[in-house]
Amino acid sequence: MPLKIHSKLANKPLCSPPTSAGFTIIEVVIVTGLIILLASLLIINVDPVGSKKKSRDEKRMSDVSTIDRAISEFVADKKRYPDQSNILRQSTILPAGSSQLTSSKSGWIQEDLSSYSSLLPIDPLNDDLYHYYYIHNLNSYEVNAKLEILTTEMINDGGNDDSFYEIGNNLNLISP
């Protein structure tokens, strides 16, 4: 006679069916890969360094327009150009007798422009490479700025130097 063993475990399966309480390793790998892909696409499209350069370039173009407007209004009032003629001014160099670079009374352009601008703009970096230039002769003037990223504006400004953004009524005064 065969021996019968009675057990509570005899009626239970050896493996229990999977439950949906967690994630499989494949699901985790796929989701992680998608997150990495989306993050890298976002970084490439946003380009924080490029957007800072573009922002500085837009500020430069605005500043040069402010200087241009101040010079034009000065000429309309005084019938002459501000500062000494044929002297190349740079926004990094304070002329003798001037108080500070951004002073509209006597800054890097050595003339009182306070009636036309509250401050004399300087480049956002204002270093050896990125700064503003101004020169005039008795009949015309030019203001220049080097841009970091908006190169088409430098090429299409009508001036004689494609490596600078040039504005004024004679864009040949500052030689390349």
Write out the DSSP string of 95-110: PTT---TTBTTTSSS-
pLDDT by 10-residue block (mean), the chain, 176 residues:
57 58 86 90 75 93 97 98 98 93 95 96 97 97 95 93 96 93
Cα(49)–Cα(89) distance, integer angstroms: 30
pLDDT at 87: 97
Question: What are 119-149's pLDDT values in tens digits?
Answer: 999 999 999 999 999 999 999 999 999 999 9
Cα(133)–Cα(145) distance, integer angstroms: 7
Within 8 A by CB and 6+ apart from 75, the residues are: 81
Task: Retrieve residue 61's tokens.
Answer: 């173009």
Cα(111)–Cα(38) distance, integer angstroms: 54
pLDDT at 151: 87
pTM, to two decimals: 0.74
pLDDT at 157: 95
Cα(147)–Cα(168) distance, integer angstroms: 17
Task: Retrieve residue 23's tokens.
Answer: 């994630």
Distances (CA, A) of 114 to 66, 102, 118, 176: 12, 11, 6, 31
